Structure 1
Amino acid sequence: MLGDSTAVGLGDPLPGGAWRGVGPLVADALGIGPAGYLNCAFTGARMRCVRTEQLPHALARRADVALVIVGMNDTLRSDFDPRALAADLDHVLAQLRAAGTLPVPVRFHDHGRVFRLPGPLRRALKARIDQLNGVVDTVVSRHGVPCVDLDRLPGTYELASWSVDRLHPSERGHRLLARAFTDVLAGAGVAVPRPVSLACSGGAQASALDHVGWLVAKGVPWLWRRGRDLVPYAAGILVRSALGRQREAPAPDPAPEVATA
């Protein structure tokens, strides 16, 4: 497992404080025991982190399959660079393929729609996500590997699929994502002896106090920090949109000529 906090399993807590999430669910479906499963992901990871810090561990393991969930943290930063993302993802997929590993990355959904961002910020984030997905599409096509499309995944935009923070999948969301990964893997010829169940079980339930606590302690500060990175970009989108409307506006009809005696 390579990637960020979703790959870590955030949003699907177990009693006692550990995280489960998509990785262990897929591993169980494939019949992989704890000794055969490696999660290299960590919270806050960006595409470059996967290339420089996580990939070497995955290559050393020489796994049959590697799930790659990364890119959203890049879209939220002021130094967002699609060319650098493409180079890093290309390197990751090429190295995994060369090691005999089948990588399965994801293309992303409109997360501003889930998080209910204000209009300008949502449009700014959506523009970034579209660019990220363009990178994923190009690199995936180049290497001929399967990919999970979160925007087309049933349940993606349902509130029950998201945890209290609306940033990470809930247990149901992780199960939906794990089912999507195993469907794609099965289509690529990988045996899936135990299909992922969508029935929630074994996870810890969040209380109303958990929801309020997260909003106050983490939700508002997170939105403020990320908003500061996205606001200048969002302002640029609004300005360009306004200028475009001005250029496209029809010229006023000329004033009628007045006959003189």
Structure 2
Amino acid sequence: MSAPTGVTARDGVPDGAGEPPARLRFAALGDSFTAGVGDPVAQGRRGWAALLADALDDGSRGVEFRNYAVSGSLSADVRARQAPAAAAFRPHLAAVVFGTNDTLRHPFDLDRLAHRMDEVCGQLAAGGAVLLTACLPDPGAVLGLPAVLGRPLARRQSGVNAVVHHLSARYAAVHLHACDPAWVADRSLWSPDRLHPAERGHRKVAADFHGLLTARGLATGAPPGPEPRLPRPGRAASVRLLVTEGAGWLARRSTDLLPQLLLMAAREAGHAALGTTARLDQEHRRTVLAALAAVRPVPPR
């Protein structure tokens, strides 16, 4: 795999020295999406980032992969704990995919989230890392919530995705667009809890990122295979998963998200009855524009 510009000099190996290339260092930051929830293996969880790391090892140089992602992490957790540890690792590639958990909490502050994302991206990019980013589908659509409940969450996630798009352009990131309706519609990509990708979904994310890296000249060799190695859980196993993990998630969210979501749903229903839903959309656009304007216009050198 070709290394990002500056890697050879940074590792202290002059061009033409005849020494073997330094191992590719790949770090992954984020929440359960990157931690591998939905892709169980004998050792615990794997996930798309680990699959991608395996595919990046084409035999010409080794790959050292570290996954700092923790299930349930908020943007504050990524900035305060994961980013400093990943920056100390000095990765050549750094996957930075988070923000959805912030949309599922109260209060939700898009300005604050944008600043945290910018700080994480800036810290890793300043160390020479090429960033991997992704915009994700809104959780309401994935969960199949009624429109009156799902629409407020969709606005929040669209705001997060707008910030991700903005920062991806500023930092010249390798960006994966994974929020189109086809992602949500293909149930084979999602685990029974309807919250996380299944093994097939994780493999698709890994393969799509590999394709983008290949197009940038940052990867060679074959992408991860698309077909799962393990059979999809049967009906009984799916029910057990929903009862354990799904019910636990609902219990945790009942104290912060649910009351706020019910208030947002009541407001949504009220505007729908009056035919003034466009006002909510305009309010959301102003919030997004304000968040983007507050982010530093020029990335740090």
- Tell me whether the two structures share a fold, i.e. TM-score over 0.5: yes
Matches within 5 A, 1:156-171: 156-171=184-199
**Count of aligned pairs between the two proteins:** 246
Change (3 A) 1:97 1:128: same
Matches within 5 A, 1:103-118: 103-118=131-146
Indicate the RMSD between aligned Cα atoms, in angstroms. 2.4
Q: Which residue of structure 1 aligns with residue 115 of structure 2? A: 87
- Relative to the length of structure 2, the TM-score reads 0.75
2:31 pairs with 1:4: yes
Q: Which residue of structure 2 aligns with residue 20 of structure 1? A: 46
Q: Which runs of 5+ in 1 are unaligned?
A: 249-261
Matches within 5 A, 1:192-207: 192-201=220-229, 203=230, 205-207=232-234
2:69 pairs with 1:58: no
Distance 1:246 1:24 in 2: 42
Distance 1:96 1:219 in 2: 34
Distance 1:217 1:104 in 2: 32
Higher strand share: 2
Q: Which residue of structure 2 aligns with residue 78 of structure 1? A: 106
2:72 pairs with 1:44: yes
Greater C-alpha Rg: 1
Superposition deviation, residue 197 in structure 1: 0.9
Contact 1:186 1:192 in 2 (8 A): yes
Contact 1:121 1:227 in 2 (8 A): no
- Relative to the length of structure 1, the TM-score reads 0.85
Superposition deviation, residue 220 in structure 1: 3.9
Q: Which residue of structure 2 aligns with residue 69 of structure 1? A: 97
Greater shift in the superposed pair: 94-103 or 106-115: 106-115
Superposition deviation, residue 211 in structure 1: 1.4
2:265 pairs with 1:234: yes
Q: Which residue of structure 2 aligns with residue 190 of structure 1? A: 218
Contact 1:77 1:230 in 2 (8 A): no
Contact 2:52 2:224 in 1 (8 A): yes
Q: Which runs of 5+ in 2 are unaligned?
A: 1-27, 280-301
Residue identity over aligned pairs, in percent, reads: 35
Change (3 A) 1:64 1:236: same
Superposition deviation, residue 84 in structure 1: 0.6
